[in-house]
A = this chain, B = another copy of it.
């Protein structure tokens, strides 16, 4: 790629002046929460900057907002934060005023342990809905995490594991980006798996235009040592999320807890980024977007039961909003998703979904084709509404890949949209039907 960044190790502790930790405090009450549980997956993460940082956030637009989301929504407008405390195993959602108090207490305990102002601590949670946090365990976890904080990549690894729920692997990335004579670093961790079709906004309110359709909890935490104005950081994060996390769907369900937070502590020493049009800002924006895109794709690839990742590319809609509606109708159709699982290049189900979407279509002008990811060599199954002469076997080969692009051209206008989607498998159903004989196994 022509972009001048390069990948580096360390994810969220790669940028200067960040430390992280992940510890086990048994939030799901799997065992005693004591020393005898050593070896269990960490479930509490802490991310801390050496100095107060510019802060930006994007939050679920679900009307049911988990308590930690409410706390972040109160604090992000200040544009400043220094630490993030996150637990998995419990979403702290639908827990009433007590839950909100618990989320504030998580921040307060973290602030006290770190000697920070409480208002500089942000909070995240993911897991089961409707159950109070075991605050005694959370307090112990925060104390342990504060002691374990380290700028060594092992700390970031532990944090990335601590935020996982049904994820099968941690999700991390870091880049080094040259900005003139300076070099800034951007790192990120994320979790996803189920209840994944984020539609996030900076205020938790939906845009007036609405979302196409919306719906896992996904969490992502991004750190950078760039010096940047908080308002500009928020603007760039919104742009990056709009093109990454808000463009993925695993199961079409939008969570109560979706959160992306970004801290920029300025320790790279670059001249502070202020104007969107400046070359350094454009370079930084592209790198930030790359971090968000890569983390978003890791979430789709590790979605519950996912065997195949399909990027749905709609062009030629009357507007970008109609393209988005068309892409989401296809990406969330149970029949289309099961056909992807089966490796069936079925265009009938695709055109059916387009036809019931909110996008205007004319079946006589629809093109449907396949390519390798990112390739423009499209093998069409349908042109202008008519099946092509490409053999069924050839089309099967196109969709018998772990990842492919589905190209749809409506020939109605200039609107376009891209949605990164997943197939629907028996494994998804098996996982999510849960085991009522073991309520602790049931997801949020």
Contact = CB atoms under 8 A, between A and B. Distances in A.
A334 B253 contact: yes
Nearest to A336: B253
A178 interface: no
Interface in A318-356: 333-335, 338-339, 341-344, 346-349, 351-356
A208 to B, nearest CB: 13
Interface in A341-390: 341-344, 346-349, 351-356, 358, 360-364, 382, 385-387
Contact of A335 (B96, B339, B386, B443): B443
Interface stretch (A143-151, A261-269, A427-435): A427-435
A348 B396 CA distance: 39
B432 A352 contact: no
A415 to B, nearest CB: 16
Contacts of A65: 363
Counting every copy of the chain, the complex holds 2
Contacts of A362: 63
A96 B433 contact: no
Given A356-B215, A426-B430, A385 B342 contact: no
Interface string A133-177: 000000000000000000000000000000000000000000000
A180 interface: no
Contacts of A252: 333-334
A210 B358 CA distance: 9
A431 to B, nearest CB: 8
Query: Which among A63, A341, A362, A429 has the highest number of chain B CB atoms within 10 Å?
Result: A429
A187 B235 CA distance: 62
Contacts of A214: 356
B429 A194 contact: no
A385 B434 contact: no
Contacts of A360: 63
Q: Dominant SS at the A interface? A: loop
Given A255-B352, A256-B355, A346-B442, A433 B338 contact: yes
Contact of A354 (B64, B335, B364, B385): B64
A326 B70 CA distance: 23
B344 A433 contact: yes
Given A333-B253, A334-B428, A361-B64, A129 B352 contact: yes
A94 interface: yes
Given A344-B436, A392-B439, A436-B342, A353 B129 contact: no
B130 A62 contact: no
A323 B343 CA distance: 37
A299 to B, nearest CB: 16
A434 B195 contact: no
A128 B349 CA distance: 9
A425 interface: yes
B434 A425 contact: no
8 contacts: A62-B352, A96-B385, A130-B347, A335-B432, A338-B429, A338-B433, A342-B432, A429-B429
